[in-house]
Structure 1
């Protein structure tokens, strides 16, 4: 009977540790990288890392990722809580905050799709069922992750004067949160919003900013949703780029150098203005998402002024 793919990965990582290719403290390949290298599903790669954590070969380190422990073959078996450690050594009790922190670290490194109850448990070195004492399910976990990420960029206690300044503060803080946590743009949709206290604070902030300007409730809600969707729409490309780099090993500039569609467009014809603009740029256009965010924010607020200040 052939060895299951996840066990093949486990055996390979162990062999690399034994040979000294991976040493204590070294980061092990991410779930996404293992899935790509072994041509397996993300769930299979996550299961492999979970097994490695439960056997004490790897552990999750805050702000670092999954790293190799001091494990050696034939050593003292380590229990299922081996991956949960205090900074000064020893074990610490599993908490909701620790579960959320490791889930955020996983999403930061590998994307929201890489977060699963099994995967988070594996990085913590605990059983999957132990997580359910702290979070209801994955949806609950993602909600807690969302609030933790947004809390890193709190709204000020005292809002600035004027609706425009208040909306700009909210937009910039949301952008900063997405910049640090690219997966954040994917946690909710406009049509099926997540009931997140963190997101609701921004909704309350935006609606309070434009309250008292004679707008009807429908228009007020449209303004709030438009502002949020502006940030979310650009920020969604942050994780898409992160995923593309992980899948191809190429930066966006490297990918464009190899796959730029412009020569083919020139040959086909039918896009004269587009081709002219591209040629006039001389290959010197840098699609910087921060620059794009700044480029559009002021015109967006200018347009809202026509509605709010009328």
Structure 2
């Protein structure tokens, strides 16, 4: 077998990136190396460098492939708030399906490729009806992304048999057996009935942020 081919045929950048994503999904981003990707493809490690310069470039390509899987609707046909919920849900689904994305998006250099930049452009376009200065709009998108990433980390970190994907309910359940005599406000909060499971904690938390964005847009118009 030629070192430039794998058991499924000639190597390509697409096959290399796909194999790297498989490894990262299974074992995390630290498990991804040119050698392990080559082993997955049944090829020689050096043959990968004809398509990808190094691991940094490979990780950027991995992020790009995941982001390119999202087809964003026409922002003009949605309210700005609907657009932000759509963007957040896309990112949320990517982080839960590919937890390594949380590390990759924070550490790769350069941090963005075409698909990632297109998502940012789409978000800024969707916020234009609010009349925010560009820097304010960018800050709003960044704050929303930080919320999505933080929420994903909490949920992924708590995933275990019987765990609740709602951080609020999970927190309430964990503290239910704790002696909170010296913390009466916490005790009162914990003793309240569990929230209606049909209410979406993720969307509600996002709306707290978006309410602030809307308030700042009103100030910007004054």
Asked if Structure 1 and Structure 2 have the same fold, meaning a TM-score greater than 0.5 normalized by the shorter chain, the answer is: yes
Q: Distance in 1 between matches of 2:133 and 2:110?
A: 21
Map 1:29-108 to 2 at 5 A: 84-86=6-8, 92-108=9-25
* 1:133 positional shift: 1.1
State the alpha-carbon separation in 2 of the partners of residues 172 and 300 from structure 1. Answer: 15
Distance in structure 2 (CA, Å) of the matches to 1:203 and 1:220: 10
Report the TM-score when normalising by structure 2. Answer: 0.76
In 2, the alpha carbon distance for the partners of 1:124 and 1:96 equals 12
Contact 1:171 / 1:231 at 8 angstroms: preserved in 2? yes
Structure 2: gaps spanning 5 or more residues: 165-169
> Do the aligned partners of residues 212 and 193 (structure 1) sit closer, same or farther apart at CA in structure 2, a change above 3 Å counting?
farther
For the aligned residue pairs, the C-alpha RMSD in angstroms reads 3.4
1:180 aligns with 2:97: yes
Partner of 1:266: 179
Give the drift of 1:130. Answer: 1.4
Residue-by-residue CA offset, 1:226-265 (whole Å, 9 max, x unaligned): 12212222123455456xxxxxxx53639x9xxx5765x4
> Match for 1:303 among 212, 217, 222?
212
1:225 aligns with 2:142: yes
- CA–CA distance in structure 2, aligned partners of residues 299 and 193 of structure 1: 31
Q: CA deviation at 1:285?
A: 7.8
Give the drift of 1:300.
Answer: 2.2
Q: Number of aligned residue pairs: give it.
A: 210
Contiguous gaps of at least 5 residues in structure 1: 1-77, 87-91, 243-249
Q: State the alpha-carbon separation in 2 of the partners of residues 294 and 201 from structure 1.
A: 23
Q: Counterpart of 1:294?
A: 203
Indicate the structure with greater helix content: 2
- Conserved in 2, the CA contact under 8 Å of 1:99 and 1:120? yes
Deviations 1:89-113, CA, capped at 9 Å, x for gaps: xxx0010000000111111222222
Pick the structure with greater CA Rg: 1
Select between 94-103 and 298-307 the one with higher mean Cα deviation: 298-307
- Give the distance between the partners of 2:44 and 2:195, measured in 1 at CA: 50
